[in-house]
Amino acid sequence: DTAVSQTPKYLVTQMGNDKSIKCEQNLGHDTMYWYKQDSKKFLKIMFSYNNKELIINETVPNRFSPKSPDKAHLNLHINSLELGDSAVYFCASRLGHQNTEAFFGQGTRLTVV
């Protein structure tokens, strides 16, 4: 049983298209995140949800729209994809208080051509 699962693992698409990435966790966590990892490996937080409520939006373009239908799911929809959106996107989850570790999904490698 995978604790945090993301789909798809790879996504190749053309500029201007709209795409979605899905994430599900079966750990009973109340907090979920989307991180973007660029080619230099930097993990930049994009969004954070706590109990389905958006609590952090890190100045991400509004072409990116997260959605959390319930505590176990956090999806990411991207409109009008641009070349600069190419990266690996990681979903992660943890229990909301400070002294807990994060569990990451396998990542979605998005390539915009």
Query: Residue 34 CB, nearest distance to another protein (Å)?
Result: 11
The span from the CA of 5 to the CA of 49, in Å, is: 17
- Give the binding site for another protein (CB under 8 A): 30-31, 33, 35, 40-43, 45, 48, 50-51, 53, 55-56, 90, 92, 94, 96-99, 101-107
Name the residue nearer to another protein (CB basis): 37 or 65: 37
Query: Residue 109 CB, nearest distance to another protein (Å)?
Result: 9
Query: Residue 49 CB, nearest distance to another protein (Å)?
Result: 8
Residues 6 or more apart from 85 whose CB is under 8 A from it?
A: 78, 110, 112
Number of H helices, E strands in the chain: 0, 11
